[in-house]
Amino acid sequence: MFRSVRISGYRGLSRYELRDLGRVNLLVGKNNSGKTSALEALYILGSDGDPAALWRIGNRRGERFVDENRLRPRGEVDVSHLFTGHELTPGQAFYVEGTNSLTTQGVEVSIEDAPGLEQEDEADLLAEEEALPRRRMTLKVKTTNKKRQQEIGLSYQGGLDQRLAEAFNSRPGRPNQDASANVHFVTTESFPGNELLRHWDRIQLTPDEELVLQALRFVDGSIEQIRSYGTGSVYGPRGGFIVKRHGEASPFPLGSLGDGAWRMLTLAIVLTQCAGGMLFIDEIDTGLHYTVMSDMWRLIYESAKKFDVQVFASTHSYDCVHSLSSICGIGDGAKEAITIQRIETRKSVSVPFSELEIQIAAEQHIEIR
């Protein structure tokens, strides 16, 4: 579990540090202050520089090249936006380093010049009509955790292809990237049904299924059972799950319950998949009424302890900040198990708030966002 993190050269965070981190950390700050960028940098650190994580970050922000012939996004993301200055030049680099009482873990991502580098054996990964052109630059990832260095080719435009990123570490002769298996990033849109179903298959009919039911009951206390059916992709972005209410004979699609239920379903399922790892949640209160938030925080904190997960979330909501105070002081004596980190524009260090300070701010209605 990281106690401090240093970020250098990532997006608008040319040099930044988060200190006095705990098990559950809520990032607050004004629009465009760097909250999401900080979450992304932490995600890259937690996933040990997984190229697939880099692709997902760019795709989520819409930083994809457009196929002019088909007038639709291509499978490449523009990696220049990952760096301060948004420039695609050799030597551009960003670095993220986390420390705890025992170790230091770091990831460095850079653009390297590779003139004349020809396309490798990508025929098995890309359709012939979508094959990448000859590449001139590479994305180099160095990690201190496993002391390794890896490179993946970029297109002429500086594009990182999705299939290359996802398949890179499973190819013969390259290390398996298992570091990101227990590290997940939940966006404001939550997870689509097909992705949630993959995780659900690992926990249904186990004791962890009760955790999911508990989370759903915060939104609708009459829910008795949840089951999966089909595939999420077939039934839309929020398909693949049905629930049954007390007193009702027929089950119905969980998506009928709205945004809050899907948000709680996502958080509960993903928490069970982060054992020993990290969870990142952008705008954690999305779709949730303020009356649910105290229960949500308690669920997250108790699950984070149970599964040994370090959680980072962001919010703009006063209700979300205020409700966090309801779980401050319930820990097992661990030093600063819960913190708020205020991200401020033009400052190079976050402003941390301890559990006691969070409680005082809530009681006296002090604005700390």
Q: Give the pairing type, strands 278-281 and 183-186.
A: parallel
Half-sphere exposure of 332 (CA within 13 A, CB side): 6
Half-sphere exposure of 240 (CA within 13 A, CB side): 21
Cβ burial 136-156 (10 Å sphere, 16+ → b, else e): bbbbbbbbeeeeeebbbbbbe
pLDDT at 43: 97
Q: Which of 310, 37, 54, 10 is nearest to 169 (CA)?
A: 54
pLDDT at 167: 77
In angstroms, the CA 310 to CA 21 distance is: 9
The three-state DSSP-derived secondary structure of 37-82 is HHHHHHHHHHCCCCHHHHHHHHHHCCCEEEECCCCEEEEEEEHHHH
Q: Which of 66, 68, 67, 39 is nearest to 53 (CA)?
A: 39
- Write the DSSP symbol of residue 134: P
Residue 129 has pLDDT above 50, yes or no: no
Q: How far is CA 56 from the centre of its chain?
A: 9
pLDDT at 367: 85
Q: What is the pLDDT of residues 223-266, one digit of tens each?
A: 999 999 876 565 667 888 999 999 999 999 998 998 999 999 99
More confident residue, 135 or 188: 188
Residue 322 neighbours by CB under 8 Å, 6+ apart: 362
More confident residue, 168 or 167: 167
Q: Give the pairing type, strands 148-153 and 137-143.
A: antiparallel
Mean local confidence (pLDDT), 24-36: 94
Task: Indicate the pLDDT class of residue 21, thresholds 50, 70 and 90.
Answer: very high
pLDDT at 155: 85
Q: What is the pLDDT of residues 59-105, one digit of tens each?
A: 999 998 876 665 555 678 999 999 999 988 899 999 999 998 888 99
Residue 167 neighbours by CB under 8 Å, 6+ apart: 125
Residue 117 has pLDDT above 70, yes or no: no
Residue 206 has pLDDT above 80, yes or no: yes
The whole-chain average pLDDT of the chain stands at 86
More confident residue, 137 or 334: 137
Q: What is the pLDDT of residues 284-305, one digit of tens each?
A: 999 999 999 999 999 999 999 9
Q: Which of 34, 72, 42, 37 is nearest to 58 (CA)?
A: 37
Q: Which of 300, 330, 304 is nearest to 315 (CA)?
A: 300
Contact 11, 63 (CB under 8 A): no
Type of residue found at 330:
I
Provide the 3-class DSSP secondary structure of residue 355: helix
Mean local confidence (pLDDT), 328-357: 85
Provide the 3-class DSSP secondary structure of residue 235: coil
Nearest 5°: CA angle at 152, between 147 and 158?
130
